[in-house]
Amino acid sequence: MKRFVFLSVIGLITILAACGGGNENADDNAQDQATDERWEQVEEAGELVVGTSGTLIAASFYDENDELTGYDVEVMKEIAERLELEVKFEIMSVDSMMPAINSGRIDVAANDMSITKKRQEEFNFSDPYKYSWTTMAVRTDDNSGIESLEDLAGKKAGGGATTIYSQIAEQYGAEVVTYGNAPNEAYLSDVNNGRTDLVMNDYFLTKFGVAAFPEFDIHLHPTLKFYPTEQAVVLPKHADVLTEKINEALAEMHEDGTLTELAVQFYEEDASREPEDEIEEIEGIEL
């Protein structure tokens, strides 16, 4: 009898464990299904809600008429039109975009967001619509004392807390001075006045940011060209149908020249194509 009771208890524990595991799997599957239904939700609403900063010159900014525009903004407007949707932009800081995707506040983010292995573990990405690399804005007279990436040790780098550029700067020993959803002027003014030593960022954004403030004694670093990047739309993890729809629109835009036209309009170069120049890779950084 004791042996029967013992076996019965073991059996009950096994059944309960199996049920517990099944519930966890069911919860995971339900979550995957819920996010994969994002396209149906967007299509039913007739609107694509896009998170962007409105502070990145050439990518997402307000023009002289206080209209939101820029390469990323116009790309998303075109995608929405091709998907027969309205588009609504939510203005927020870069650090707020990923949480806003997960919470459902926004459907996607488009703000010169680079594809990284770490981000791909948590989010879907569209196919790239922009290719670039990394450089930095430094003081003109001495390049802020930076001639190599190793010279970043002990320097102060202006940037957002969660950007890949701040992570690279920290990896090389720089102290990152963080900002909220600040405009380019705030970052670049601090390099000019010595509060910080550099702003590390995308080549195209840095080029136009520096050019917008000729009164500052700063320039693009003349020799450093590293960490090639691919920018794309960020989506919820497992939102595969919405990802596919956006990719189809981007493929059409590549084929008919729309992406090239928009890139040249805002960057004066075709940033929609992979660069042919050699760009220094950075090893050992988990981004």
User: Over the chain (287 residues), what is each successive 10-residue block's mean pLDDT?
Assistant: 38 38 47 72 97 94 97 98 98 94 97 92 97 97 97 95 88 93 90 97 92 96 95 97 98 98 96 91 73
Burial per residue of 44-83, b for 16 or more beta-carbon CB atoms within 10 angstroms, e otherwise? eeeebbbbbbbbbbbbbbeeeeeeebbbbbbbbbbbbebb
**Tokens matching residue 232:** 């794309």
Give the three-state DSSP class for 68.
strand
The pLDDT of residue 286 is: 65
Q: How many CB atoms lie within 10 A of CB 201?
A: 27
pTM: 0.78
The pLDDT of residue 34 is: 53
Alpha-carbon distances of 285 from 163, 171, 176, rounded to whole Å: 13, 7, 16
Instruction: Give the homologous superfamily in CATH for domain 38-129+232-267.
Output: Periplasmic binding protein-like II (3.40.190.10)
What secondary structure letter does DSSP report for 66?
A: S
The pLDDT of residue 14 is: 37
Mode of pairing for the β-strands spanning 198-202 and 130-139: antiparallel
235 burial (CB, 10 Å; 0-12 / 13-18 / 19+) is buried
The pLDDT of residue 35 is: 63
The pLDDT of residue 150 is: 96
Dihedral sign (CA 260, 265, 270, 271)? negative
Q: Give the up-direction half-sphere exposure of residue 149: CA atoms within 13 A in the CB hemisphere.
A: 18
The CATH architecture to which 132-228 belongs is: 3-Layer(aba) Sandwich (3.40)
Residue 71 and residue 130 in contact, taking contact as beta carbons nearer than 8 Å: yes
Q: How far apart are CA 180 and CA 267, in angstroms?
A: 25
Q: How far apart are CA 280 and CA 224, in angstroms?
A: 9
**Sequence ranges of the domains in the chain:** 38-129+232-267, 132-228
